[in-house]
Structure 1
Amino acid sequence: MERKRFVKSLVLVTLAPSLFIAACRNEKKAAASQNYTCPMHPQIIKDVPGSCPICGMDLVPVSSGSDKNELILMNSQIQLANITTMQIAQSNFGTSKVLNARLVTNPELSEVISSRYAGRIERLFVKETGRQVSKGQALFQIYSEELQTLQQDYLLQVKQVAAFPNEKIYVTLGEAAKSKLRLFGYSNPQIENLVRSNKISPFVTVNATASGIVNEVSVSEGQYVSEGSPIIRLENFNQLWVEADVYPGEASSIKVGTPVKVSVYGFPELEQTVEINFISPQIDPSSQILKVRGPIQSQGKLQSGMQATVLLNTAKINNAVALPLNAVIRDGKGAHVWIKTGKNTFAPKMVTTGQEDENQIVIISGLENVKEVVVSGAYLLSSEFILKKGSDAMTKHNMSKM
């Protein structure tokens, strides 16, 4: 009996140092596997205590937790982080691009009032730009000796016709003289008044031939002008042009007749769909862009010079899986999302992305057999994962297979 006790004591004495050494090794191994992170910057992970190189806070230990690449949160944590999910579904997806644009006057609707005869501008009834002018409104009065001669010739022919009503030659000459007055801007009421008063005058009042906004006044009172000299330029703002900038690489998605949505800054209620009716055949050498344009209705509010944006549809994908942009986290390792794997349980999933617009992004692969995806709070989940696990959420993923 005494011998058995002696043997047991000898075994314990012999094994004690080995157990102590193994325990120390395990303790050292556990200590070596301990990671530390910054509460404010969870991307900072070190294997020794210290301070955060960004904010200077003391690093805190993180638990490695389970080896499973999942997060389990409480209901309060989910509500506080505003974590919401959506069911995976296929839908039609269209990508678009925003083009810088501006409103310019439509020269096809511009009207230039010019002098039809040489003379002196006696009076200007419209002297400043920006004024609204109606059709038939008096614009200026001009003194012209040539016009006085035409008036005198017409009155002579009228008298000849009255004296010899059966002579066709006088009727023909009278019509010719009347046509000359019309060519020089005389209206029918002015011609009738000339005949009625039987008085010639070297002054004639020129009226607007169209309605519009005075864009330019090229003369001043007392100035002599020649035949054909421009006097006043009128712009019609009822219809304008929207002119957009397009880079050469984007030009292939635009054709004459392509519909685009136009929004003018300050007038969101006037958003319109416009068809492109012109594509510049030449690149601007200074800016390396092409100009495209289309007509836009001003509805009495829009003016030339206003800034606008043009929304150009660049692609359309049928039966696509599209997620909000905030649902996808992109870094140097690629792109991943957080999926819901159970009640209050979430896991990261590597995905391959495709086309995107200002709101959504297409997922090409990676969500097969996935039913629910986190659409808000994904970044907070990644930060929580680092704090709990001590490593990045995508560390265990094989990037080469994606």
Structure 2
Amino acid sequence: MDTNKIKQVFRNNYIRYGIILLIGLLLGWLIFSGGTDATLAEDHSGHTHEMTTDENGKQVWTCSMHPQIKMDKPGKCPICGMDLIPLKTTGSGDAAIDPEAIQMSKEAVALANIQTTVVSKQNPVKEVRLYGTVQADERLSQSQTSHVNGRIEKLFINFTGESVQQGQTIATVYSPELLSAQQELLEAAKMQSVQPALLQAAREKLRLWKLTDEQISRIEHSGNVSPYVDVKATTSGIVAAKKISQGDYVNQGNVLFDIANFSRVWVMFDAYESDLPFLKVGDKLEYTLQALPGKTLSGNISFINPILDPVTRTAKIRIEAANPGMQLKPEMYANAVIKSPLRQYNNQIVIPKSAVLWTGKRSIVYVKQPDTETPAFMLRQIELGPSLGDSYVVLSGINDGDEIVTNGTFTIDASAQLEGRRSMMNDADSRPVTGHEGHNMSGGSGNMNKENEHAGHNMSPMPDNMPQKTSDKQTHTMIPVQGNCDMCKDRIEKAAKSVKGVSTASWDQKSKQLHLNFDSTKTSIEAISRAIAKAGHDTDKYKADKAIYDALPACCKYRNN
């Protein structure tokens, strides 16, 4: 080619830019393809993927939704059809670790703030907390009454809370009957020599109206009578209630004032019936008052009410206390703590409450396996004794010297549930489904187990809704159920769980499939489908009644017509 023509071609800007672009792409491909390979090689050389292997050293694969499924090769979950994932471990493993233990790396233990404590035998002391109030001593309270009929002429006590001293005049009563009785006394005094008994009777009548002998003698000698009588206080204390006003008419025996003596008070506490076995008369009790911060008082239980309050289910516990300076006032709040030794449980193991997972029927703890490089924890079912406040007495299940988890117990149990192990929610071990049983359970037709094909155990894929036995009695299956929203999900699952024998029910809104686990000896798919249809949702076996379907909310309507 002519040199001039070549020069003319290169003078074209489009051609020059195109050639430069091609050269740049070529160089980039050469540089970055090599660098990527080197980087990948370097990354893989820097760390290892920790995977769970079976006893033959082969990789184990599981389903993220059904951790009880364990296969020896990748494929589909036989229950839900999801892709299996490699089952990763959290530690490097240890030959001494029990196969049922939950392993966690040291980093995971630190991240989850898992703490352990070595248990020991103790002489347990139950700590009972009580709450109550200060009350007046009922034995020191008195009512001040009028001893004659008449009218309140004058009051010397005018308001509730006023202090009263014994012998103090608290009121003056005008009484015509008293005037007549005094005149009878004077007449009887004139006839003393003839009828001395008459004089004694007149004097006794006035004594019954609480006139003193001095007052009676003064009337006899002076000959002066008065229709007014003073009412004297019979005790010292505080006026707790004022029940009359000046000018009121009263009858003999009417209460004028209630007077309470606060020189001694009662501190009354409420004790629940579960705490009563640990309380007895004479026990020493320490208590504090909100009105006296920083001050601790003490006393002995003087009385335990044998009758429970039917509403609060508590019994009253009484402490008697001296009250110098009137520091303790009625209705003050009091908090008490009593420590009662449980001698019948001496030399028993005591553990913190935070270590226990309680299911209602079972109480479990996690015990750290000793002498292992990788932290490993074993589930133990225990029998609990009485509660000690922040701890429990353990009757059986763990031994002296065991190291138990006291913080982070739920984290370990969650790991056990994800791995399909024994846990708080699962009393028995899940039965793993593995490829070594000679049955290919892959959900796709293109994932046949070639090893099993050669061994003559090639099994066809199982339909999605075929029941599969996961334990001796428990059966898992999926049935199609029609619905639209979260309200439908709640309604469907509730209807399924209402059938006796159904342990779990989970409806997938997208696939319209209901995942079921049920006891095949107690119920059947037909019975479950019938219950769901009665709730308003069509299944592949039963259709909901039109009246029930029409009553569903608008967001739950799934039929086209």
Q: In the alignment, is residue 232 of structure 1 matched against residue 260 of structure 2?
A: no
Aligned-partner Cα distance in 1 for 2:169–2:279: 44
* 1:117 alignment partner, SS class: coil
State how 1:62-211 maps to structure 2 within 5 Å: 62-65=88-91, 66=93, 68=97, 69=101, 85-95=116-126, 105-154=136-185, 177-187=202-212, 190=215, 199-211=224-236
Greater relative contact order: 1 or 2 (C-alpha under 8 angstroms, separation 6 or more)? 1
Q: In the alignment, is residue 335 of structure 1 matched against residue 364 of structure 2?
A: yes
State how 1:301-340 maps to structure 2 within 5 Å: 301-304=328-331, 316-331=344-359, 334-339=363-368
**Does structure 2 conserve the Cα–Cα contact (< 8 Å) formed by 1:140 and 1:206?**
yes
Can you list the C-alpha shifts for 1:8-42, whole angstroms capped at 9, x where unaligned? xxxxxxxxxxxxxxxxxx9xx84834869xxxxxx
Can you list the C-alpha shifts for 1:317-338, whole angstroms capped at 9, x where unaligned? 2211111111223358741134
Q: Which residue of 1 aligns with 2:302?
A: 275
Q: Which residue of 1 aligns with 2:242?
A: 217
State how 1:385-400 maps to structure 2 within 5 Å: 391=419, 394=422, 399=427
**Does structure 1 conserve the Cα–Cα contact (< 8 Å) formed by 2:413 and 2:423?**
no
Structure 1 counterpart of 2:148, one-letter code = Y
TM-score w.r.t. the length of structure 2 is 0.48
Aligned-partner Cα distance in 1 for 2:189–2:319: 49
Aligned-partner Cα distance in 2 for 1:379–1:400: 18
Structure 2 counterpart of 1:32, one-letter code = W
Q: Which has the higher mean CA deviation after the structures are superposed, 108-117 or 301-310? A: 301-310
**Does structure 1 conserve the Cα–Cα contact (< 8 Å) formed by 2:151 and 2:173?**
yes
* 2:347 alignment partner, SS class: strand
Q: CA deviation at 1:119?
A: 0.8
- Seen in structure 2, the aligned counterparts of structure 1 residues 290 and 347 have a Cα distance that, compared at 3 Å, is closer
- Seen in structure 2, the aligned counterparts of structure 1 residues 187 and 216 have a Cα distance that, compared at 3 Å, is same
Aligned-partner Cα distance in 1 for 2:406–2:424: 23
Q: Which residue of 1 aligns with 2:551?
A: none
Q: Which has the higher mean CA deviation after the structures are superposed, 197-206 or 172-181? A: 172-181
Aligned-partner Cα distance in 2 for 1:296–1:132: 22
- Seen in structure 2, the aligned counterparts of structure 1 residues 134 and 116 have a Cα distance that, compared at 3 Å, is same
Gap runs ≥5 in structure 2: 1-53, 75-84, 430-561
Q: Which has the higher mean CA deviation after the structures are superposed, 350-359 or 149-158? A: 149-158
Aligned-partner Cα distance in 1 for 2:346–2:132: 30
The answer to which structure has the higher strand fraction is 1
Aligned-partner Cα distance in 1 for 2:427–2:169: 78
Aligned-partner Cα distance in 2 for 1:317–1:390: 38
**Does structure 2 conserve the Cα–Cα contact (< 8 Å) formed by 1:140 and 1:207?**
yes
| Paired residue total | 343
Q: Which residue of 2 aligns with 1:350?
A: 380
Q: CA deviation at 1:362?
A: 1.3
Aligned-partner Cα distance in 1 for 2:221–2:333: 51
Structure 2 counterpart of 1:354, one-letter code = G
Q: Which residue of 2 aligns with 1:287?
A: 311
Q: CA deviation at 1:258?
A: 7.1
**Does structure 1 conserve the Cα–Cα contact (< 8 Å) formed by 2:135 and 2:268?**
yes
**Does structure 2 conserve the Cα–Cα contact (< 8 Å) formed by 1:259 and 1:276?**
no
Q: CA deviation at 1:275?
A: 3.1
Q: Percent identity?
A: 23
Structure 1 counterpart of 2:303, one-letter code = I
1:361 to 378, 392, 401: 392
State how 1:362-381 maps to structure 2 within 5 Å: 362-368=393-399, 370-379=401-410
Aligned-partner Cα distance in 2 for 1:138–1:81: 76
State how 1:7-18 maps to structure 2 within 5 Å: none
Q: Which residue of 2 aligns with 1:242?
A: 268
Gap runs ≥5 in structure 1: 1-25, 37-43, 49-58, 162-166
**Does structure 2 conserve the Cα–Cα contact (< 8 Å) formed by 1:279 and 1:293?**
no
Q: CA deviation at 1:346?
A: 5.5
Can you list the C-alpha shifts for 1:38-95, whole angstroms capped at 9, x where unaligned? xxxxxx99999xxxxxxxxxx99953532733657659975x8766554432222244
Structure 2 counterpart of 1:266, one-letter code = Q
Q: CA deviation at 1:146?
A: 2.4
- Seen in structure 2, the aligned counterparts of structure 1 residues 256 and 271 have a Cα distance that, compared at 3 Å, is closer
Structure 2 counterpart of 1:91, one-letter code = Q
Q: CA deviation at 1:235?
A: 2.6
**Does structure 1 conserve the Cα–Cα contact (< 8 Å) formed by 2:299 and 2:319?**
no
Which is greater in Rg? 2
Structure 2 counterpart of 1:303, one-letter code = P
Q: CA deviation at 1:234?
A: 1.8
Aligned-partner Cα distance in 2 for 1:222–1:196: 32
- Seen in structure 2, the aligned counterparts of structure 1 residues 82 and 276 have a Cα distance that, compared at 3 Å, is farther
Aligned-partner Cα distance in 2 for 1:63–1:277: 58
Q: In the alignment, is residue 32 of structure 1 matched against residue 58 of structure 2?
A: no
Q: CA deviation at 1:350?
A: 0.8
Q: CA deviation at 1:279?
A: 1.6
Aligned-partner Cα distance in 2 for 1:337–1:75: 19
**Does structure 2 conserve the Cα–Cα contact (< 8 Å) formed by 1:257 and 1:275?**
yes
